[in-house]
């Protein structure tokens, strides 16, 4: 595991990609694609309402089963999205420290770029 100098944390670097273990259910998902967080992935009320309406009607057992299976798939997708959120293993203070470090690196890179662009080959 990567640790920064002076840090007592043994957690992986947030910039180091960690391969997740795949299960049989994940075989149809390309693990190289980033998981996208969308609010709609966590809105289950319409599905619950549809299932309740189908139950109240009472004559659509196949549709009820399909709707429940689809809802279960959405729950599983939501779990997968939450598990794959970057930095989830860090507490707030650690996330803030990492952000501060990464912002300092970004600022240094911006300064280097400005200095590089001001060097003789790029100056008009």
Over the stretch 4-25, which tens digit does the pLDDT of each residue have?
A: 444 444 444 444 333 333 333 4
Percentage of residues in the chain with pLDDT exceeding 90?
40
Query: 22 lies in a domain?
Result: no
Residues of the domain holding 45: 37-85
CB 61 within 8 A of CB 71: no
Whether this model's pTM surpasses 0.85? no
What is the rounded radius of gyration, in angstroms, for the C-alpha atoms of the chain?
Answer: 23
Domain count, the chain: 2
Query: 108 lies in a domain?
Result: yes
Extract the tokens encoding 87: 């930095």
Strands (E), 31-107: none
74 and 45 part of one domain: yes
121 and 99 part of one domain: yes
Query: 16 lies in a domain?
Result: no
Q: How far is CA 69 from the centre of its chain?
A: 24
| Residue 72 or 59, more confident | 72
pLDDT digits (tens, 9 = 90+) for 49-66: 999 999 998 877 899 999
Question: What are the distances in angstroms from CA 14 to CA 1, 3, 57, 95, 112?
Answer: 11, 10, 50, 9, 23
Give the per-residue SS3 of 58-71: CCCHHHHHHHHHHH
Query: 31 lies in a domain?
Result: no
pLDDT digits (tens, 9 = 90+) for 30-56: 455 566 677 887 889 999 999 999 999
Map tokens 């009820």 to a residue: 64
Map tokens 């100098």 to a residue: 5
Query: 14 lies in a domain?
Result: no
42 and 73 part of one domain: yes
Give which of 62, 76, 82 is closest to 26, Cα–Cα: 76
Sign of the alpha-carbon dihedral angle for 13, 14, 15, 21: positive
72 and 110 part of one domain: no
């Amino acid at each position: 595991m990567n640790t920064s100098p002076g840090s007592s944390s043994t957690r992986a670097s947030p910039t180091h990609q960690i391969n997740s273990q795949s299960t049989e259910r994940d075989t149809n998902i390309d693990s190289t694609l980033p998981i996208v967080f969308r609010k709609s992935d966590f809105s289950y009320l319409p599905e619950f309402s549809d299932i309740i309406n189908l139950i109240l009607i009472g004559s659509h057992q196949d549709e009820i089963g399909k709707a429940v299976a689809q809802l279960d798939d959405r729950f599983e997708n939501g779990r997968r999205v939450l598990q794959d959120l970057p930095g989830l293993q860090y507490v707030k203070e650690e996330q803030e420290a990492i952000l501060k470090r990464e912002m300092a690196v970004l600022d240094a890179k911006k300064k280097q770029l400005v200095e590089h662009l001001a060097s003789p080959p790029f100056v008009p």
